[in-house]
């Protein structure tokens, strides 16, 4: 019975993520969804129009699509690493719990 409840919770979480991702696209018509870099740059220019950046990008992608692709790859790799670490620690915890149960049963 516990597995069924977990399955429903997972589906509710997936549905919630989809709603959060799609709702702004439907509800806010004609809006431009820009990145934080552009917003920060305009805010800095408002506060100090004479500001000159002290760092320049090492690599400038040829187009916005390539930039988006690289960002998506970076996000995917980051999510993969985080998922791996969480799974590793969870597996170690379960292994310790099984070992403790075996030790209790043998004594």
DSSP3 helix / strand / coil % (the chain, rounded to 5): 75, 0, 25
Structural domain boundaries in the chain: 62-107
Q: How far apart are CA 105 and CA 28, in angstroms?
A: 60
Q: Are 37 and 43 in contact (CB under 8 A)?
A: no
Written as six digits, the tokens of 16 are: 């919630």
CA gyration radius, the chain = 23
Mean pLDDT in consecutive groups of 10 residues from the start of the chain, 107 residues: 70 91 80 75 89 84 84 93 95 93 84
Written as six digits, the tokens of 1 are: 């019975």
In this prediction, residue 1 carries a pLDDT of 45
In this prediction, residue 105 carries a pLDDT of 86
Residue owning tokens 């989809």: 18
């Amino acid at each position: 019975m516990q597995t069924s409840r977990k399955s429903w919770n997972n589906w509710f979480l997936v549905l919630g993520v989809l709603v959060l991702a799609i709702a702004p696209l439907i509800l806010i018509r004609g809006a431009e969804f820009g990145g934080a870099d552009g917003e920060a740059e305009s805010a800095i220019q408002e506060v100090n129009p004479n500001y000159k950046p002290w760092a320049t990008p090492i690599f400038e992608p040829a187009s916005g699509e390539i930039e988006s692709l690289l960002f998506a790859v970076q996000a995917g790799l980051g999510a993969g690493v985080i998922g791996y670490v969480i799974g590793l620690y969870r597996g170690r915890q379960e292994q310790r719990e099984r070992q403790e149960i075996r030790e209790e049963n043998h004594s």
